[in-house]
Amino acid sequence: MEEDPHPADPSPAEELLRRALLDSDAAAAVALRVRGLPLSDTVTVIFHGRRDLATLQTYVTPGGRRAGSSVAPDELLRVPCDLDLADAEDRAEAERLYAEQAAALRDALIGADTVLELWRESLDDATAGDVVVDRSIELAVSLPAHRLLPVALVSPDRHLVVTPVCEARTLAAGRPPLGIACAQQDVTRIYPLPDDPERCLADFFSAASERARALSQRLRQQEASVERFLEINLDDPPAAV
């Protein structure tokens, strides 16, 4: 096979990664491994800062990454809970703030993953064991909030996704507000982390059923409207069945 003399331009993410590798003074990345999670086992938090873009962003990737290991862009979940070290008066204070804020995010990840394990037990009971643990970066549903971890509970038969979510804010404000999102087609709910999973699932299934009934009723009304429209506008309307 001949080589393409005009290769496609790299994607923006690939270009930024290439620039960061070429100019080590313009970017830095620090990895924090979080081990012993009930569902995720181990994840790695990556704090990535770029001087030229004035960005300091947080990513989470599945597994334990060692220092110097490469991570592809499609292995990174962007979590909008970023470090804020601007108020540090010197390096020592910046290190203290970094340690405090990184610990707050670590605690949030541990708490969310632990609660999701409780949800798995309740969802197993509610779906007769029809639950899969999905560690994908991308999910097939839209969520009303930002994901916190690259892990989700999926019930294929019910087309249901349950995953931890968070509010976007800097870690200077402490541990971010967390919740558990339930999504099923066009029905979504976010429940506070401390809520009882059984109660939350019962509420969600009730809301989903009500939504399905409303859609069914609207479809019947639309069909009836079409039949009446055709009845008054066709010379020979079809006989009623």
Q: What percent of the chain has pLDDT over 90?
A: 57
Residue 215 confidence (pLDDT) above 80: no
Residue 104: predicted pLDDT: 96
Q: Look at the alpha carbons of 144, 145, 146, 149 in this order and tell me if their dihedral is positive or negative.
A: negative
Q: pTM above the 0.75 mark?
A: yes
Residue 20: predicted pLDDT: 42
- What is the DSSP secondary structure assignment for residue 4, as one 8-state letter? P
Residue 238: predicted pLDDT: 59
- Distance set, CA 55 to CA 169, 228, 230 (Å): 14, 60, 60
Residue 28: predicted pLDDT: 85
Q: How far apart, in whole angstroms, are the C-alpha atoms of residue 212 and residue 181?
A: 19
Residue 227: predicted pLDDT: 82
- Comparing 237 with 193, the larger pLDDT belongs to 193
- Comparing 214 with 38, the larger pLDDT belongs to 38
Of 210, 215, 205, nearest to 182 by C-alpha is: 205
SS3 211: helix
Contact, 74 vs 150, CB < 8 A?
no
Residue 235: predicted pLDDT: 65
- Comparing 79 with 215, the larger pLDDT belongs to 79
Give residue-wise pLDDT tens across range 13-66.
444 444 444 445 678 888 999 999 999 999 999 999 988 888 899 999 999 887
